[in-house]
Amino acid sequence: MGDRETLETDVLIVGGGPAGLAAAIRFKDLLDAHNASAATKLEASVMVVEKAPELGAHSLSGAVLDPVSLRELMPDFEARGAPVANPVTEDHVYLLTAGSKLELPLIPPPLRNHGNYVISLNQLVKWLAAQAEARGVDLFAGFPGTELLYEGDRVVGVRTGDKGIDKHGERKGNFEPGVDLRAKVTILAEGARGSLTKQLVPRLKLDAGKAPQVYSIGVKELWEVPKGRLARGAVIHTMGYPLDGHTFGGGFVYGFGEDRISLGLVIGLDYRDPLLDPHGLFQKLKLHPMLRGLLEGGKLLRYGARTISEGGWYAIPRPYADGVLLVGEAGGYLNAMRLKGIHLALKTGMLAAETALDAVLHGDPSAGRLKAFADKVEGSYVKSELWKVRNFHQGFKHGLWAGLIHSGLQLISGGRGLFDPMSPSKGYAEVYKLADYYGPGATRERFERVRTDGSLSFDRLTDVYHSGTKHDEDQPVHLHVADPSLCETRCREEYGNPCEKFCPAAVYEMVPKGDDPKALRLQINFSNCVHCKTCDVMDPYQIITWVTPEGGGGPRYDDL
């Protein structure tokens, strides 16, 4: 009882999203091909561990999929039932003001979506999971990776989380210790701001000489609307309202099926207003006449939120070290201009699989051999695509118009633009203090929560309910705040407690403390958490660390 077990596998993948599953599928396919012609057949096991209660439950995205990598992974993906029933039929970009819209007459080629598909990432991941399972991959849902296992500086595997610990940290009757999974090659595919990736990168200085990673938050809802409201496969992107000229981001509205609309708002997590409320801004977007017209009379089906890696090529750390590879958004592989990352996740997953098989065949998972992954990425469309947009996000440092100009210049110069590299965004450090943004003497009372009407716009708790998120309440709080007294004093004064505003799931709340009517303390409603990681990214003092809660908890992003 309490003794940790050890399990061995050849390849261990942390994260059952598109990158992780593509790596698993590709590894097995390459292995089969190798064995078909090899003199001695190799048996190699692949294990995927995923914190969600089932594969796909924590996967969400807009999304518009460029099928280039899916086609490479499985040329017959359509015949195999991949959920790609909505090819893009129309492409629009609008600039919105509070009451009107202006359509851009021309969409630059990289932003055109002809040949792409409007999909649900959740559905795609479920399908990929079935494909992986059919190939003999061991998929373990409900098992988060909590700690990397090292021998010296070599990664030798991952420890999974303990189960059955109560809110005081004591073992419950059904305590089940986590398992040490030892692998020759560990592939981290945790998505943006992965918790193991966050431990690994500084320890092995994989970010030496790189720009710091920068993020956006995406907030999304899935709606059921009367048929014909929005053409199936219609792709709409918006700029402007409700974001001001200094806030990076924009909206998306996709026709997903006959009577479904996927819509959301992406906001750069380097905004200035300390009281910015991403969820609230998304609700405001829906009140715009164009959106209202599309959603009126419809029904909210699902809600979710997630951070997105925005830093681009210059912020991607060295993606290999002894025994370990980084793929997908965990590595930072996302095209911020096209707002597409799934195809890059799939492709980097596949390249990692090639690299891993080679390492397993030679019994050598050292950095020297795993470097081949970086070389493969360099020689693939992952590099050529990301190179062209390497300064995209940074171009918006001085506002929307400057950003559009920089972007245009970058487009015609293969990504170089006016400055290369452009000085990176400072992310959370771009946020202004209350006094600097709102004027001297401004307090947290300046904040006004957006009013919601309950039919077109919703308060956060109602949205959280529609995320399906659930956690066993009797477990330790998985949001570690290093010094909560800071929240009550310094943060309250300097920034007005932004966590209450930037969390799209109402996890953080400053509530009255004791008898003093003016004293507040931080209350963490952790079971609302949708695992977006915004708090880990954005708190001004960087004292919040998001760790994996007990496996199996979190949202259920059906069809998101």
Partner 1 sequence: MRIIVCVKQVPDTEARIRISSEGNGIAEADINWIVSPYDELAIEEALRLREARGGEVVLVSLGPERAQSALRSGLAMGADRAVYLKDPLFDATDTLGTARALAAAIKGLTPFDLVLTGQQGVGGDHSQVPGLLAELLDLPQVTVATKVEIQEGKATVEREIEGAHESWETSLPAVISAQKGLNEPRYASLKGIMAAKKKPIESRDAAGLGLDAAALAPRCRIVALELPPARPPVRMIEGDVGTQAQELLRLLHEEANVI
Partner 2 sequence: MPIIITFAETREVKLRRASLEAVSEARRLASALGASVESVLVGSGVEGLAAELGRHGADKVHVFDDPALASYATEAYARALAQVIQKVKPTAVLVPFTAMGKDLAPRVAARVGAGLASDVSGLSVKAGRLEARRAMYSGKAVATVCWEGEPQMATLRPNVFPLAQPDASRSASVAKASVDVTARARVTAVHASGAGKVELSEAQVIVSGGRGLKGPENFHLVQSLAEAFGAAVGASRAVVDAGWVDHQLQVGQTGKTVSPTLYVACGISGAIQHLAGMSSSKCIVAINKDPDAPIFKIANYGILGDVFEVLPRLTDAAKVYFGAAR
Residues facing residue 220 across a β-bridge:
264, 304
For residue 176, the partner it binds in partner 2, partner 1, none, with Cβ less than 5 to 8 A by kind, is: partner 1
Task: Give least dist CB 452 to partner 2, A.
Answer: 12
How many positions of this chain bind partner 1 (CB under 8 A)? Answer: 19
Is 523 an interacting residue with respect to partner 2 (CB under 8 A)?
A: yes
Of 148 and 266, which has the nearer Cβ to partner 1?
148
Using CB under 8 A, which of 468, 553, 554, 555 touches partner 1?
Answer: 468
Token representation of residue 532: 């977006």
Of 169 and 439, which has the nearer Cβ to partner 2?
169
Using CB under 8 A, which of 163, 246, 279, 369 touches partner 1?
Answer: 163
Using CB under 8 A, which of 471, 492, 501, 531 touches partner 2?
Answer: 471
Task: Give least dist CB 461 to partner 2, A.
Answer: 5
Using CB under 8 A, which of 68, 71, 140, 513 touches partner 1?
Answer: 140
**From 137-145, 255-263, 320-328, 453-461, span contacting partner 1 (CB under 8 A):** 137-145
**From 25-33, 232-240, 462-470, 531-539, span contacting partner 2 (CB under 8 A):** 462-470
* Single-letter amino acid code for the residue at 50: E
Number of C-beta neighbours around residue 96 at 10 A? 21
Of 78 and 474, which has the nearer Cβ to partner 1?
474
Task: Give least dist CB 307 to partner 2, A.
Answer: 24
For residue 465, the partner it binds in partner 1, partner 2, none, with Cβ less than 5 to 8 A by kind, is: partner 2
Task: Give least dist CB 472 to partner 1, A.
Answer: 11
Is 455 an interacting residue with respect to partner 2 (CB under 8 A)?
A: no
For residue 556, the partner it binds in partner 2, partner 1, none, with Cβ less than 5 to 8 A by kind, is: partner 1
Is 527 an interacting residue with respect to partner 2 (CB under 8 A)?
A: yes
Greatest alpha-carbon pair distance for the chain in Å reads 78
Return d(Cα 413, Cα 410) in angstroms, integer.
Answer: 5
Return d(Cα 122, Cα 59) in angstroms, integer.
Answer: 5
Cα dihedral 417, 422, 426, 430 in deg (nearest 10): -60
Of 52 and 276, which has the nearer Cβ to partner 2?
52
Q: How far is CA 415 from each of CA 65, 339, 395, 410, 421, rounded to the nearest angstrom?
A: 22, 16, 11, 4, 10
Number of C-beta neighbours around residue 246 at 10 A? 18
Is 470 an interacting residue with respect to partner 2 (CB under 8 A)?
A: yes
Of 58 and 232, which has the nearer Cβ to partner 2?
58
Residues facing residue 9 across a β-bridge:
183
Neighbouring C-alpha atoms within 13 Å toward the C-beta of 423: 4
Using CB under 8 A, which of 77, 94, 127, 143 touches partner 1?
Answer: 143
Of the candidates 252, 290, 246, 255, the residue with the CA atom closest to the CA atom of residue 111: 252
Return d(Cα 185, Cα 154) in angstroms, integer.
Answer: 10
Concatenating the DSSP letter of every residue in 293-338 gives HHHTT-EEEEEEEEEEE---GGGPPP-EETTEEE-HHHHT--BTTT
Concatenating the DSSP letter of every residue in 374-428 gives HHHHHTSHHHHHHHHTTTTGGGGGG-HHHHHHHHHHHHHTTT--SSSSPPPP-GG
Q: Which residues bind partner 2 (CB under 8 A)?
A: 454, 461-462, 464-465, 470-471, 473-474, 511, 523, 525, 527
Please give the residue ranges that form the binding site for partner 1 (CB under 8 A).
5, 7, 54, 138, 140, 143, 160, 163-164, 172-174, 176, 179, 181, 468, 470, 556, 558
